[in-house]
Amino acid sequence: MIVEPRYSDATTDWSRGPQGGWVVRFRPGVLEGPTQQSVSACDPTMDSAPKPGLLARAAGSGCEVFFGGVLYDQPKLAHDLGSEVAAADGPAELVLWAYHRWGEAVLGRLKGIFSLIIWDGPQRQLFCVRDPMGHYPLFHAEGGGWLYLSTSQEALLRQPGVSRSVDRVALANHLRHHWFDREQTFYEAVRRVPAGHVLRVGTNERAEYRYWDPAPVDKQMDWIPEEEALERFDAMLDRTVTRFLELGPTAIFLSGGLDSVSVAAAARDNSLRMGAPTPWGLSLGFPGEVDETPIQKSVARGLGMPQVLTPFADSAGTEGFLLSVLRASANLEAPLLSPWLSVYEHLARQGRDQGCRVILTGGGGDEWLGVSPFLAADLIRSGQFGSLLRLYRALRTSFNVSASVTFRSLMWNCGLKRLLHESARDVLGKVAPSYLQARQAERTQRSMESWLAPDPALRAELFRRDSQSWEGEPQSRSFYLRELRPALDHQLISLECEELFESGRREQLWFLRPYWDAELIEVLCHIPPQSLISGGRTKGLVRQSLARRFPDLGFERQRKVQAANFLTSLVVADAARAWQELGDLQALSDLGIVDGKAVKAELAQVMRGESASDGSRLWFFLNLEAWLRAHI
């Protein structure tokens, strides 16, 4: 299959591509939506399926609703509202009726992937809502007396009075791998509504709060009985996949791992039940130790799925992997998070050529099907050493990590060290709070490498933000339950969702992750950890059923395939050419984010193989520099 290049070969072409997106603007008493041409819920080329990025509008009784995305279970919602709304014209009108009935409490009843804006004229209240897991983005910015709202940051930046200045703190913290503020974007003027949150704006007040939480820290966890766990999980996975199949012809990014194979199996089974077209399997053939081609072919054949199997080299771009990725980053609203995005977009376009409009992935499986090693701290504290041994064995047999490393990580890093640190912090917080604060400040200073923030003002601001992050939010006593929060609240999760959404809008495809579905996560949060390692390995909920379905593929003993070494080899191989084309880290240096000379010397050592640092550091610097050049 011939692949046409997406980006110019000109060495100076780091400009952004065209961006789209609607904008709703608000000021007290006034809500103005997009032009009528851009307000549409359907696209005739997609058999009337909802289309990523478009918006539906409804108004009545002094209220107005803008809805973008997919609303699940619309017939049930209409039934609950009564026969007079059975003929509601689309999700926006249905939400309008529901708001008239239940008011603000309607947010807890809505299920789907969406961004939602509700203006209650009589109450003078504006509600800006993002779906529970953040599949659909929603950003806001202010300028000229208006509050602007959109799924597109670029659309907001084009509005009168909205500054285009990048946020130096966000960029510097990105290089540090510090992501504290879930509302922060890479622009000073643009903020995000976090997943599962609503921004409420009144005449004299503005508040943001979480309206959906599957595991509140102030409540006792209600665990699903072990004998019911698998049945509840299977039923909800089928329900989630069925909803996605209803959006149109479907394909699955099919690797050889447990997550994508379990999604593919569920999609095939439910498509047969529904009488829907057989989903396609879309697979990349990686070379060397990360090659899963035999498993990919066997799974597709066993499921009776047509398959596109593309060698990685054919998807990497004509000018090499790294340069293609950097050019892709320059065209995005935020710096590229996944270096694999371009190759998977190429694969997705092959699925689109086969008529597919929905691409499912196994994303989220690592976060929600596995068991956190920080369970060790809870088990040590409660003296459950038999369960601790079972956890060690499950992790040891599920990952390609030595016994000594697994033992030290589990017993010390995730176990005793966490318990001792918490105890010391609690004691010092009571008897010597100033000493504790000084120790935290010292740790912050050590985390700032010498090349970071040569501008004193920026360095001081980074320190101030770090100090604010010490306070944090209330946490569960359980270390295991604490580790659920990052998968719900972490800024990286929002960045990943937004990147996937933007890719889908650009390619006119739905990229969806069943293991990131809110209702499925509500079930997974309440499945006890011992059920997640049933059978003596992680991901026990899917491992055993796949082993029975594909008895010759070894899923019962499969270990996680890590592509980090392969990525490092790609980055290092192309880094010299990319560095030569970029010329230097001029944009990062000019903004005072890095000391360009110091970073250049360190990265030169990495490229020569003289540094213990891997290619990930190269990738972060080059990626951020390429993005900045197109956005300042």
Q: Tell me whether residue 201 is exposed, middle or buried, using C-beta atoms within 10 angstroms of its C-beta: 0 to 12, 13 to 18, 19 or more.
A: buried
Question: pLDDT over 70 for what percent of the chain?
Answer: 91
Q: List, for residues 131-168, the tens digit of each pLDDT value.
A: 999 999 999 999 999 999 999 999 999 999 999 999 99
Helix axes 615-631, 564-582, angle to 10 degrees: 40
Which among 311, 364, 368 is positioned nearest to 511, based on CA atoms? 364
526 compared with 80, residue with greater pLDDT = 526
User: What are the start-end ranges of the E strands in 254-395?
Assistant: 280-285, 307-311, 358-360
Q: Which whole number is the average pLDDT over 283-309? A: 93
Q: Are 480 and 372 in contact (CB under 8 A)?
A: yes
* β-pairing verdict for 112-120 and 63-71: antiparallel
Q: In the beta sheet, which residues pair with residue 112? A: 71
Q: List, for residues 437-470, the tens digit of each pLDDT value.
A: 888 888 888 888 889 999 999 999 998 888 776 5
Q: Are 7 and 327 in contact (CB under 8 A)?
A: yes
Look at residue 568 and tell me whether its pLDDT is greater than 50. yes
Range with the lowest mean pLDDT among 145-159, 250-264, 313-327? 313-327
Question: Longest C-alpha distance within the chain, in Å?
Answer: 73
Q: Per the structure block, which two tokens stand in for 179? A: 């992501």
Q: Which whole number is the average pLDDT over 95-115? A: 94
User: What are the start-end ranges of the E strands in 180-293?
Assistant: 191-192, 197-201, 206-210, 250-253, 280-285
Cα dist from 38 to 15, 24, 43, 66, 594, whole Å:
26, 11, 11, 12, 41
Q: Which whole number is the average pLDDT over 468-477? A: 70
Range with the lowest mean pLDDT among 40-44, 319-323, 586-590? 40-44
Q: Are 558 and 542 in contact (CB under 8 A)?
A: no
Q: How far apart are CA 419 and CA 377, in angstroms?
A: 6
Residue 258, pLDDT score: 94
Q: How far apart are CA 517 and CA 521, in angstroms?
A: 6
User: What are the start-end ranges of the E strands in 361-482?
Assistant: none
Look at residue 41 and tell me whether its pLDDT is greater than 60. no
**Which domains does the chain possess?**
24-210 (3.60.20.10), 226-368+492-557 (3.40.50.620), 375-482 (no CATH), 564-631 (no CATH)
29 compared with 559, residue with greater pLDDT = 559
Q: List, for residues 169-222, the tens digit of each pLDDT value.
A: 999 999 988 888 899 999 999 999 999 999 999 888 899 999 999 988 888 889
Cβ atoms within 10 Å of 426's Cβ, excluding its own: 11
Confidence of residue 476 (pLDDT cuts 50, 70, 90): confident
Q: How far apart are CA 279 and CA 253, in angstroms?
A: 11
Confidence of residue 10 (pLDDT cuts 50, 70, 90): very low
* β-pairing verdict for 358-360 and 250-253: parallel
Residue 20, pLDDT score: 57
Confidence of residue 37 (pLDDT cuts 50, 70, 90): very low
Which among 480, 505, 455, 462 is positioned nearest to 152, based on CA atoms? 505
Q: Which whole number is the average pLDDT over 275-295? A: 93
Q: Are 159 and 146 in contact (CB under 8 A)?
A: yes
Range with the lowest mean pLDDT among 34-48, 309-323, 424-438? 34-48
Q: List, for residues 326-371, the tens digit of each pLDDT value.
A: 999 999 999 999 999 999 999 999 999 999 999 999 999 999 999 9
Helices (H), 182-257: 226-245
Q: Per the structure block, which two tokens stand in for 161? A: 């009075």
Question: Which uninterrupted H or E stretch holds 489?
Answer: helix 484-489
Q: 274: which residues sit within 8 A by CB, 6+ positions away?
A: 242, 245, 246
State residue 194 phi and psi, 5-degree precision: -65, 160
Give, in degrees to the nearest 5, the angle at Cα 489 between 485 and 492.
115
Residue 600, pLDDT score: 86
Amino acid at the residue 11: T
Read off the DSSP letter of residue 47: T
Residue 110, pLDDT score: 95
Residue 81, pLDDT score: 87
Look at residue 19 and tell me whether its pLDDT is greater than 50. no
Cβ atoms within 10 Å of 28's Cβ, excluding its own: 12
Q: Which whole number is the average pLDDT over 56-60? A: 91
Confidence of residue 580 (pLDDT cuts 50, 70, 90): confident
Q: How far apart are CA 229 and CA 232, in angstroms?
A: 5
Residue 590, pLDDT score: 95
Confidence of residue 83 (pLDDT cuts 50, 70, 90): low
Question: Which uninterrupted H or E stretch holds 112?
Answer: strand 112-120
Residue 4, pLDDT score: 24
Q: List, for residues 531-550, the tens digit of each pLDDT value.
A: 999 889 999 999 989 999 99
Q: Per the structure block, which two tokens stand in for 372? A: 């956190």
Residue 9, pLDDT score: 26
Q: Per the structure block, which two tokens stand in for 388? A: 């601790």
- Tell me the pLDDT of the chain averaged across its residues: 88
Q: Per the structure block, which two tokens stand in for 448? A: 């700032």
